[in-house]
Structure 1
Amino acid sequence: MAHSTQQSDSSGDDSGLRDRSDSSVSELVAGLSFAVPYLIIAGLFLFGPLLLALYMSFHDWNALDPGQSQFIGLENYRILLGDPDFWNALWNTVYFVILTVPPIVIGSLLLALGVNRDVKGKWLLRTIFFSPYVLTVAVVGLLWTEVFSASGLIPYYVGGGNWLNDHTLAMPALAIATVWWQLAFNFIILLAARQNVPDRLYEAAKLDGASTWRMMRDITIPQMQNPLIFVVIVTFVGSFQVFGQPFIMTDGGPSFETTTIVLYLYDTAFTGREFGYAAAVGYVLFMILIAVSATSYYFLSGDKR
């Protein structure tokens, strides 16, 4: 009897294992059925072009007859490293990032914290702050071109003539337009993050006599860490890839002072018809973005593993 009972228990265990195994297989099949369509689309429209661009960067690419393209190895990358126009465009891009990323991140955080307070008309403030983001880059560019023109509002009140034709003021003008436009996206993300911080943490801190600054440092910022990291990295990547604003507002001028790396890539490919070299520029930009994004995440997240 004991032996038969043991056999029964063993068969029951085996049946349970089979049921769990069948369930895992079903979940895997269901997951793959949802993932495969995305993977196919990503392969066609993301990974495919990435691999093609890498292949192009090793060639003197003939866009009209790709079969006649000549393999030149790393020559495009060698030329790029000694190209003063590339380094000028890279510096202009870094300068633009410096002008835009801190104001966008800090400004959106302050707006989110301010609107989150118990003030009248919060819904109206949210609408006002978010409204610029619904505009396209073309509308934003044309609008701010008029604002910075010789007869526009900024030169009228501040002076300086047409800012977009000034070697010193052209890039700050692009930065101002970009900050005004991009604050809204980060504002919504950080506002949602702030509203997810439990009120009981602030109530406990107030009972302990914590100041507003200490609650900001010890509660608000740590609780919003992940959204803040996301905002910093996305803002950095977006600013480093800026194209529409200089293309519409300055066309890279005056004297290439606002030619960014993506605008330089565009001009190289579609004006100079040097598609292989432009692909090399794109891949260098791609590697820069990966390196800086990973570094930013490493230091901002505090994860040193």
Structure 2
Amino acid sequence: MAQATQQTDANADESGPVDLSESSVRELLAGGTFALPYLLIAGTFLFGPLLLALYMSFHDWNALDPAQSQFIGLENYRVLLSDPDFWNALRNTVYFVVLTVPPIVIGSLFLALGVNRDVKGKWLLRTIFFSPYVLTVAVVGLLWTEIFSASGLVPYYVGGGNWLTDHQLAMPAIAIATIWWQLAFNFIILLAARQNVSDRLYEAAKLDGASTWRMMRDITIPQMQNPLIFVVIVTFVGSFQVFGQPFIMTDGGPSFSTTTIVLYLYDTAFTGRQFGYAAAVGYVLFMILIAVSATSYYFLGGDNR
């Protein structure tokens, strides 16, 4: 009897890992089957072009006959580093990022905190604050082009003539239009994050006599840390890739003062027909975005690092 019991236990021990292994394989196959359509689409339309652009950046690319393209190694990158037009576009882009990222992040945070309070008509405020985001970049660009034109509202009340033809005012004008448009997305993200913070934390803080600023510093910001990191990184990346607003509102002018990196890449590729050089510009921008995202996460990640 004892031998039979031992034999049964031994068989159970032997069959256990086999069943677990078969179950794991089935789960892996099921997960792979569900993920396969996405992987095929991502490989075709994301990773494929990404690798092709890297290949193009090492060539003097002939778009009409790719087989005639000449391999030139790092020549495109060497020319890029000494290209004053590229550095001008990079300066313009950084200037745009400085003008837009802090107001968008801070403004959306304060809008989310304000609307979260128990005020009358807050549903209407949420609708008003989010409504600009449903507009396309073309509509936003054309709308604000009229607002900043010589006969528009801004010059009428503020002065300065047509802002979009002024070397000093053109980029701030584009930044104002972008802030008005992009606040909405971050506002919704941060509003949802604030609503997930337990009210019991604030009630306990009030009992301890904490001020509004102290509760924001010690409760609100730490509890919303991950959404804030997401908002900051997404806003940085979006601002570095700005294209539609300057393309529609100024076409890079006046005197290339609003030509951003992506607009410069577009002009280089589709106007100058220098596709290999444009691919190199794109990969430099790609590395800048990785560095910016990593830096933002490092300084804002806190205990999540």
**Global fold match (TM > 0.5):** yes
Secondary structure at 1:255's aligned position in 2?
coil
* Identity over aligned pairs, percent: 89
Hey, what does 2:38 align to over in structure 1? 38
Hey, what does 2:107 align to over in structure 1? 107
Partners of 1:298 and 1:304 within 8 A in 2: no
1:62-90 superposed Cα distances (whole Å, 9 cap, x missing partner): 11111111111110000000000000000
What RMSD over aligned residues (CA atoms) do the two structures have, in Å? 1.1
1:17-61 superposed Cα distances (whole Å, 9 cap, x missing partner): 333222212111111011111111111100100111011111111
- Counterpart CA distance in 1 for 2:280 and 2:267 is 14
Hey, what does 1:141 align to over in structure 2? 141
Secondary structure at 1:286's aligned position in 2?
helix
Partners of 1:60 and 1:71 within 8 A in 2: yes
The gaps in structure 1 that reach 5 residues or longer are: none
Compute the displacement of 1:183 (Å).
Answer: 0.2
Compute the displacement of 1:234 (Å).
Answer: 0.3
1:194-227 superposed Cα distances (whole Å, 9 cap, x missing partner): 0011111111111222111111111110110000
1:167-182 superposed matches below 5 A: 167-182=167-182
1:206-245 superposed matches below 5 A: 206-245=206-245
Instruction: Name which of structure 1's ranges 88-97 and 196-205 shifts more when overlaid on structure 2.
Output: 196-205
Partners of 1:112 and 1:188 within 8 A in 2: yes
- Counterpart CA distance in 2 for 1:126 and 1:273 is 46
- Counterpart CA distance in 1 for 2:55 and 2:84 is 24
Q: Which runs of 4+ in 1 moved over 4 A?
A: none
Hey, what does 1:265 align to over in structure 2? 265
Matched length: 305
CA, structure 1 residues 82+149, in 2 after alignment: closer, same or farther (shift >3 Å)? Answer: same
Q: Which amino acid aligns with 1:252?
A: G
Compute the displacement of 1:303 (Å).
Answer: 4.7
Compute the displacement of 1:296 (Å).
Answer: 0.8
Q: What TM-score results when the alignment is normalised by the length of structure 2?
A: 0.98
1:5-16 superposed matches below 5 A: 5-16=5-16
Secondary structure at 2:255's aligned position in 1?
coil
- Counterpart CA distance in 1 for 2:202 and 2:22 is 48
